[in-house]
Amino acid sequence: MAASEVRGEDGEEVCLPQRDGRSTGPAGGHEGLLARVRAAEAAVERIGTTLDAVTTCEELAGFLFRNVCDAVAVDLLDEDGGPLRAATAGAEELLAAGSDGTPSPRATDGGHPLSAWVTVAGGVPVHVLSVPLPDGHRVHGLLTAVRARTAFSDHEAATVHFAARLAAVHLGHARQLAATEDTVSHLQRALVSEPGRPHPNLEVASRYLPAGPRALVGGDWFETVRLHYGRTLLVVGDVMGHGLDAAVDMNAYRSTLRDVASTDLAPHRVLRQLDALAAGDAGRRPATCLLVRVDPARGVAMFAGAGHLPPAVFGAGGSATLVDVPVGPPLGTGVGGYEAVTRTITPQETLLMFTDGLVERRGEDIDVSLARLAAVRLPPGAGVNAVVDAVVAALDADHAEDDVAVLAARSRPRLPVDPAAAAGAL
């Protein structure tokens, strides 16, 4: 069989050793060493292009099958230490035949032993190389490379060994990222699982949707704060960035807001206090925020925003209008300059607050995105939970490119007082 060809980044052909057990040049000579170096360069280019463990296993199997052997299998170990087949390439029957035999050490390099053995299938010798995939003190899995008839040369064995070690490092990175994502996801879900309890005169519904299984969660959050005289402060915010730092800063903003809101300041004054406090913390990330103070008894709501998208109000007929809220700078800039606007709100209207992930789409003007939300029509009489469900479905928020946080609220109508019952109570 002719020498395998690999093309590096510059398009130059890289000749790996012949698949007949011989090397392309004198053993240990310049040509053999150069072929091994170029093979390593090709492996670096093609293995570990993502931070996904299964993709890394597929890249490892594909690289070795194309250039060194007739069949490859990569097994990952589950939490109980059992093998799970993550990727294969080449003839499956050779992999089955190669499972028989007694391994013997062929090379050892820093805790990465290379084992080899020979078995026979159908009268044909089957040569097998096996390499564990450790990274630090943890073994992620096992690589098995198989070839029929001819043995692996020293250069080919070295290529298999190097590719396995390279993949093991990338598998370690992938699992570290997965563990970090899991920690951040649990933290954020715990923080935004439920907003605080509003007054009984206000119905609320909320939803948090992460951007996807491989995306780092962001700093989206919502909150409700009880105020005096039956009023409730509704809050939606979005810390810039993703990951653990964004989630931690989100919690800091949320805690600070509760303290400032307890002073019963108007929404725009609450934003001024938050901005000043955040600007004084050099490590705090900027954040957008929208505040709405709802007073069901008076039928009014006061709005103030810090770099956040405007809310929508759905009327009794199911149509939506966007509230024109003065746009102030994001929190943490120290610029200030926040203003408030007040409008009436009835028990037949539903207020919808959200983060940008609900409406924004890559490459689309934000006005177009908001118009799509305003075009949503709800069935008459839909409750607040039904409103959230309908909007999330209409905008396909389950497949959004960014995290989504949604908070809906509606005033409960005041029940008429029965004069006879009132007189009897006296």
- Tell me whether strands 114-121 and 124-135 are parallel, antiparallel or unpaired: antiparallel
What is the rounded CA–CA span in Å between residue 90 and residue 94? 8
What is 81-119 written as a DSSP string?
A: S-EEEEEEEE-HHHHHHHTSS--EEEE--TT--EEEEEE
Residue 8: its pLDDT value, please?
Answer: 43
Residue 306 CB partners (closer than 8 Å, separation 6+): 271, 274, 275, 287, 288, 289, 290, 328, 329, 330, 331, 338
Residue 2: its pLDDT value, please?
Answer: 39
Residue 21: its pLDDT value, please?
Answer: 43
Residue 10: its pLDDT value, please?
Answer: 46
What is the rounded CA–CA span in Å between residue 132 and residue 143? 6
Residue 24: its pLDDT value, please?
Answer: 39
Q: Angle CA(208)–CA(213)–CA(76) in degrees, nearest 5?
A: 150
Q: What is the dihedral of CA 263, 267, 272, 278, to 10 degrees?
A: 80
pLDDT digits (tens, 9 = 90+) for 136-181: 778 899 999 999 989 998 888 989 999 999 999 999 998 888 887 7
Q: What is the token pair recorded at 15?
A: 């000749």
Q: Are 235 and 288 in contact (CB under 8 A)?
A: no
User: Which residue carries 């103070």 as its tokens?
Assistant: 293
Which helix (DSSP H) or strand (DSSP E) does residue 275 occupy?
Answer: helix 267-279
Residue 111: its pLDDT value, please?
Answer: 62
In the predicted model, residues of the chain with pLDDT beneath 50 are: 1-27, 214
What is the model's pTM?
0.62
Residue 368 CB partners (closer than 8 Å, separation 6+): none
pLDDT digits (tens, 9 = 90+) for 270-312: 999 999 999 999 889 999 999 999 999 999 999 999 999 999 9
